[in-house]
Amino acid sequence: MTLRRTALETLMEITDKGAYANLALKRALSGLEERDAKWVSAAVYTTLDHLLYIDHVIAAYTKGKLKPDIRGILRMGVCQVLYMDVPDSAACNESVKLAKEVGKGALSGFVNGVMRNICRNRDNLPPLPTEPLKRLSLQYSYPEYMVREYLSMYGEGFTEAMLSAAEGREMTVRAQYPYTSDVLEKELDKREIEYTRGQLCADAFRLARGMDISRELLFTEGKITVQSESAMMVCSALDAEPGMKVLDTCAAPGGKSACIASMTQNKACIDAWELHPHRAELMRRTFERLGVEGNVYVKDASVHYPEYDGEYDRVLIDAPCSGLGVPGKPDARYAKNDEIIENIANIQSDILDACAPYVKPGGTLLYATCTISERENQRQINAFLERHPEYEPGSLESVIPKAMWRRIEGGCMLQLFPHLDGTEGFFIAKLVRRA
C-alpha cells in the first residue's frame, strides 16, 4: 500500500466513520519507517486542520455530491498544494494515481481536471464571505456553532487571534519523582536536544523536536513522561501536599494522578477512578512505569457513593469534555455539535454534584476541562455554586503567574488560550468547601 493510500484511508476513517485521529493514526503508522510515518501524520493532520476551507475550494470547482473516495483524494491533493509545499505537478499526478489505486480509475480524469484547475487558479481561489461568522468558520476551519459562541463571548478580533494561533504540536515532557527537572535539564543539554522551559510551569520541557518515546530509556524507566504544560498547571492548581488524601475522579490514562504523585513526592494517598475497565488497566500500567503509589478503581464519577463523603482533602474533576481547546485534535471540531455539547455539559453537572460531598470541610474541589466553551466551563461553575452554597470560590493567585491574576473570573476561574499562553485551551476552577 502506498503512503498516500495509507493517509487517505486514515483520513476517511476519521472524517467518514468518526474515528479518533490519534487512534486511527496509531494503527496506520504501525510498522512504518519514521520518515514515512511523519509524512502520513502530517498529511492527515494538515488536511483536518484546514478541512472546511479545503472543502470551500473544492466546491467551487466541482458540481454535485462527490463519492467519498474521490472527495478524500481531492481533499488530500488540495492540502498538499496549498499547505504542504508539494509541487503542483506531483500533487496532481499522485492524486490521479491514488484514484486508480483505490479502484476509481474511471474518475481519474475528473480528479486530474479538478486538481489542475485549482492549481492554475491558486492565486485566484474563491473569495471568503465577508460576514464574520462564515468567514472565520471557513478561513480557520472551525464549525459555525463554535465560532458563533466565541464571537458572542470574545468579539471578532480576539476570536480571530485565537483561531489563527499556531497549532504547536511540539512534545512536552516532565520529570517524574524521584527524577528531577534539574537532572533532566542536564541530560537534554548533554544530548544537545533543544528545548524551552515552560512559562506557566517551570518543570515543563518543550522539545524543539520530538523523540521516539517508546524507545527512550528515560521514558521506559519511568524517569520522564509526556504531559502538556497546561495539564501540569491543573495539577499545580490542585495544591496537594504530602499526607493529603486525593481523589482523581476521571483519571485515565493517569497522567494527572502521576503528576500529583510527583509533586507530593509520592507522599499523598491518591485514589484514581475510571469508568472503563480497559482504560483503568492502562492507568495501572502507567502507574507501574512511573512508580506511582496510587489506588485504581473502576467507578462512575457521575454516581454518588455516600461512603466517600468527607473523605478527601483534594478532589480533582478533570471532566470529560468537548476537547475544543486542544489544537492538536482538529477532529474534535467536526465530531461535535450543539446537541452533543449540551449532553456533555449535563454529564459534567452530574459529576460535579456527585463528587461535591467527597471533599472535607476546608478542602478543595478542582474542576478542569481541555476546552474553550462557556457551557462547559464558566456557566457550569456558576450554576454549581448556586446549587451548592457549601462551596465558595477558591483563590488561584498562589498557583498561577501574577501576570494572569487579572484574567481570573469570579474569583476562582481561569481560561487558558493558545494565542495568549502558548498552551492548549484548558479551563481551571478552584472551589473550597466551607469549614
Query: What confidence category does residue 215 fall into, taking pLDDT thresholds of 50, 70 and 90?
Result: confident
240/140 same-domain check: no
28/143 same-domain check: no
201 domain-assigned: no
Average pLDDT estimate for 180-189: 96
Which tops the pLDDT comparison, 20 or 116? 116
Burial class (CB in 10 A: 0-12, 13-18, 19+), 154: middle
Residue 71 to residue 243: CA distance in whole angstroms: 57
Write the pLDDT tens digit of every residue in 216-239: 899 999 999 999 999 999 999 999
22/73 same-domain check: yes
DSSP string, 256-275: HHHHHHHHTTT-SEEEEEES
Q: Is the pLDDT of residue 170 over 60?
A: yes
59/138 same-domain check: no
3-state DSSP assignment of residue 12: helix
Share of the chain above pLDDT 70, in %: 99
The pLDDT of residue 326: 77
28/69 same-domain check: yes
Candidates 231, 271, 274; CA nearest to 252 is: 274
Residue 389 to residue 231: CA distance in whole angstroms: 28
3-state DSSP assignment of residue 216: coil
Average pLDDT estimate for 270-291: 96
Write the pLDDT tens digit of every residue in 23-56: 899 899 988 888 899 899 999 999 999 999 999 9
The CATH number linked to 46 is: 1.10.940.10
Residue 79: give the domain boundaries.
3-120
The CATH number linked to 272 is: 3.40.50.150
Average pLDDT estimate for 403-422: 94
73/140 same-domain check: no
The pLDDT of residue 332: 84
Which positions are annotated as active-site residues? 370
247 domain-assigned: yes
331/411 same-domain check: yes
E-strand ranges in 250-346 read 269-274, 294-298, 312-318
145/87 same-domain check: no
Average pLDDT estimate for 298-322: 97
322/397 same-domain check: yes
Contact 361, 434 (CB under 8 A): yes
**What phi, psi does 327 have (nearest 5°)?**
-60, -30
Helix (H) or strand (E) holding 367: strand 359-369
139 domain-assigned: yes
169 domain-assigned: no
* Grid cell listed for 146: 463554535
183 domain-assigned: no
DSSP string, 395-408: --TTTS-GGGGGG-
Q: Which residue is it, cell 483505490?
A: 102
148/240 same-domain check: no
Candidates 242, 307, 251; CA nearest to 269 is: 242
The number of residues in the chain equals 435
81 domain-assigned: yes
| Number of domains forming the structure of the chain | 3
238 domain-assigned: yes
The pLDDT of residue 190: 94
149/110 same-domain check: no
Share of the chain above pLDDT 90, in %: 85
User: Of 92, 120, 148, which one is at a domain's C-terminal end?
Assistant: 120
* Grid cell listed for 210: 520530538
Residue 48 to residue 352: CA distance in whole angstroms: 33
Query: What confidence category does residue 210 fall into, taking pLDDT thresholds of 50, 70 and 90?
Result: confident
pTM across the whole model = 0.90
Candidates 201, 194, 192, 188; CA nearest to 227 is: 201
- Looking at every residue in the chain, the average pLDDT score rounds to 94
159/295 same-domain check: no
Q: Is the pLDDT of residue 435 over 80?
A: no
59 domain-assigned: yes
Residue 24 to residue 412: CA distance in whole angstroms: 38
